[in-house]
Structure 1
Amino acid sequence: MLRRQTRALVAGGTSGIGLATARQLREHGFEVRLTGRGKERLDDLALSDPDLTGHQPDGGDAAAMTALGDQLGRLDALVVSLSGTEGMGPIADLDLGMLRRAFDAEFWAHLTTIQALLPRLAPTGSITLVTAVSARTGMPGTAGIAAINGALEAAIKPLAAELAPIRVNAVSPGVVDTPRWSGFPAEQRAAYFARAAAALPVRKVGTAEDVAEAVVFAATNANTTGTVLETDGGARLINL
């Protein structure tokens, strides 16, 4: 009797940590599907990684995500790596309308994706969220994104208890060299990474692949649930 192939969906999987995770799940034998809102990235992915199948629904669109779940059928692993570009800034002049948009793009999109795809999760399946070290540090100017990531991490334990035996975890990276930094001038980005690497206990800035290893562990280890795995190079131990 042939063993059924396991299927994973990485929401937000067309670049950075999401894409690195999709590739590593593929190496672990999963049939991997992923989502991304940008058609250009999905088209590029079809050329670079033809064995990763992309879909274009927005993680915050419940109807679209439900329809994707109906199309895919049973899922053994759901990874949610949805992120926005807003939410940073000092509280004195932080645009709260912008912060609401950031909550929509990350917090609400994560919960929408989980709720829409939950009926498709196998009883032995897993849900893994990608959050950030801002939830547990005191970096000035990060109150907005700390609130978003903190809200997601606060949901991990109750979800793990509520949805058992489905396992629910989060992975919390720190400073990671991903395309999310591409909006900064190259020299400014390089200088910040150099300062961060010198200060971090591991003496290096993380890579998407570093974080993806932790995500794959959380998604596949049958004895891990209700946990936030920190893969931040020790950023939570120092003041960046």
Structure 2
Amino acid sequence: MRIVIMGGTAGIGLATARLLAAEGSEVIVTGRDPQRLTAAGNGAAAAKGGEAGGGLVAEQVDGTSEAEVAAFLGRMGAFDHLVLAFSPGSVGAGTLAATDLADVRAAFDGKLFPYLFAAQRAEVTGSITMVSASSARAGLPGTFTFAAVNGAIERIVSPLAAELAPVRVNAVSPGVVDTAWWSFLPEEQRRAQFAAASTSIPAGRVGQPEDVAAAIRYLIGASYVTGSILPVDGGFTVA
């Protein structure tokens, strides 16, 4: 099985790549950061999981560059599954009154539009799985940009599932997950926020990238599931 994970050199994308490679898939991850690319490539041997393991290859691709994405996907040719895990980070965080709308545009340009362009150009035969976020369905002040971007991603799942069939289209929607996305906060503040979140999340803890990776693996293998959004938030959006 050949799987491409765009935005797969850190966090949820990398955890997914390592899980799938360890189970025998050929996995190609893309990213922009040279250090993360090197780390992902150096982790390939560990991801192989012995004789039955697959391979993990990292390629430098700027997901916001249509030219680079088109060239990369042209080289890939046909493959089985596409996972879209681009993230512009915390750009656009804040209240409506305090947020520069240029940052809102940058958030869309860093996630939604790269998702659309990659899905448009990929010669994928099995499934497309997008990573959105629970902010699409939450009501937290200061998160309207995240709600807008991830809400747009979740709304396109159903029409794309109908339009691109028999290719399946789904999304995972993580809640609070301990990744580098939170690096905009000082360590002490981040840990305090995680501790506070853990008291209100029914699962009693914040998520780990591996929790979301397991959900992505399920959707890749679930041949009768399409047009679905799978919350992976420990119950955050129902708490």
TM-score (norm 1): 0.92
Q: Please say which of residues 182-191 and 6-15 is displaced more in the overlay.
A: 182-191
- TM-superposed CA distance for 1:140, in Å, is 0.7
Q: Secondary structure at the match of 2:111?
A: helix
Paired with 2:116 and 2:44, the residues of 1 have a C-alpha distance of: 28
Tell me whether 1:114 sits opposite 2:119 in the alignment.
yes
Q: How does 1:68-87 map to 2 (within 5 A)?
A: 68-85=72-89, 86-87=91-92
- Alpha-carbon displacement from aligned partner over 1:128-147 (angstroms, at most 9, x marks no partner): 00000000010111111100
Report the equivalent of 1:21.
Answer: 16
RMSD: 1.1
- Per the TM alignment, residue 152 of structure 1 is displaced from its structure 2 partner at its CA by 0.5
Structure 2 length as normaliser, TM-score?
0.93
Query: What residue in structure 1 maps to residue 207 of structure 2?
Result: 206
Map of 1:1-240 to 2, 5 A cutoff? Answer: 6-50=1-45, 51-85=55-89, 86-117=91-122, 120-122=123-125, 125-238=126-239
Structure 1 residue matching 2:38: 3-state secondary structure? helix
% identical aligned pairs: 46
Contact 1:33 1:54 in 2 (8 A): yes
Other-structure match for 1:3: none
Return the offset for 1:183. 2.6
CA contact (8 A) 1:59 1:112 kept: no
**Which deviates the most, 207-216 or 27-36?**
27-36
Shift of 1:62: 2.1
CA contact (8 A) 1:202 1:234 kept: yes
Mapped contact 2:133–2:175 kept (Cα < 8 A): yes
The alignment covers a number of residue pairs equal to 229
* TM superposition outliers: structure 1 runs of 4+ over 3 Å: none
What are the superposed Cα offsets for residues 180-211 of structure 1, whole Å, 9 maximum, x if unpaired? 11232111111111110111111011000001
SS at match of 1:168: strand
Paired residues of 2:14 and 2:40 also in contact (CA < 8 A): no
Structure-2 separation of matches of 1:25 and 1:74: 18
